[in-house]
Structure formats: structure tokens, C-alpha cells
Amino acid sequence: MSGRRVVLDTNVVVSGLLNSFGPPGRVLDLALAGELTVAYDDRVLSEWREVLGREKFGFSPADVELLLTFFEEEGLRTNPSPLRAELPDPDDLSFLEVAREAEATLVTGNLRHYPPESRRGVEAMGPAAFLEEWTRRAGERDTEEGDGDG
């Protein structure tokens, strides 16, 4: 387990699998490459399993299980404390609770589902903004590492 901690909202996982070239797909690629540590709990894992198993997406059940097994083996399982937070969709609370417990960034395609006043200190970002920050930080790390050469 290494890399920056993230919680991937279900919409990011679905979008990433449907279009590997868009920002959600690139975030998913970073997770699968071990650059990110995906935090989750049983509720999050259950939602991913249920949504990814929907016939309308056409994902192979075997591929879904491989992905979820990867997250279970390489990710960070949490047992978060309940938060008192008002969200437009109460089912999203589990993602916020996991992010807070894991001190992780919540990556979501639905920022409006996580109003700033309800985040309880959790950083939430859209996939494109997350990638922009990731790229900037990676560039800073490369520059810092290069400073010692010479």
C-alpha cells in the first residue's frame, strides 16, 4: 500500500471503466498502478459491487470481481466513525466517512452531493481537478529530486 490516499465515488469508478481516456479513467489508472491508495469500507465496496454489476453497463462479472479484489488487497480498509453531516443523498455519507477516517481525498464527479459546509474537513475534488493537482505535485517532486543532481 503506497501513494496518496483517495476515496473513489462510485460515479468515478463507473466513468473510469466506461472511458479509460477521460479524467475518471486516468484516476482509476493511477490507482491500479499503485500510485494511489484507495480507501474503502464494506458499505463502499458493496455499492461498487452492486452498481458495477448492473446489466446496463455491460461489465463482465469476472472483471468486476478482479477490480474489487484489487481494491480489497491493495487498498485501505477502514472502519469509520459515523459523521453527522447533511448531504443531498444520505447514501453518499459512507464515502465522506471513509475519506475522513483515512485522511483521504474524496474524488467524485458529483461535487454538489458534498456541499463544502457538510464535508467535515474532507477534501473533495472532481477527477479533472484531482489530476491537475496530481500532475502539479508530481512536477514539483521531479524538480526537487533534480535539485540534488549536479
Per-residue pLDDT of the chain (150 residues; tens, 9 = 90+): 568 999 999 999 999 999 999 999 999 999 999 999 999 999 999 999 999 999 999 999 999 999 999 999 999 999 999 999 899 999 999 999 999 999 999 999 999 999 999 999 999 999 999 999 999 988 887 777 766 554
Domain hosting 95: range is: 4-147
* pLDDT of res. 73: 97
Tell me, yes or no, if the pTM score tops 0.85. yes
Q: What is d(CA 109, CA 113) in angstroms, rounded to the nearest whole number?
A: 9
* pLDDT of res. 148: 56
Q: Which amino acid is at 8?
A: L
* pLDDT of res. 149: 54
CATH number, position 102: 3.40.50.1010
Count of domains for the chain: 1
* pLDDT of res. 98: 98
* pLDDT of res. 143: 73
Helix (H, G, I), strand (E, B), or coil: what is residue 30?
helix
In this structure, the strands spanning 4-8 and 36-40 are: parallel
Sign for the pseudo-dihedral over CA of 50, 2, 35, 62: negative
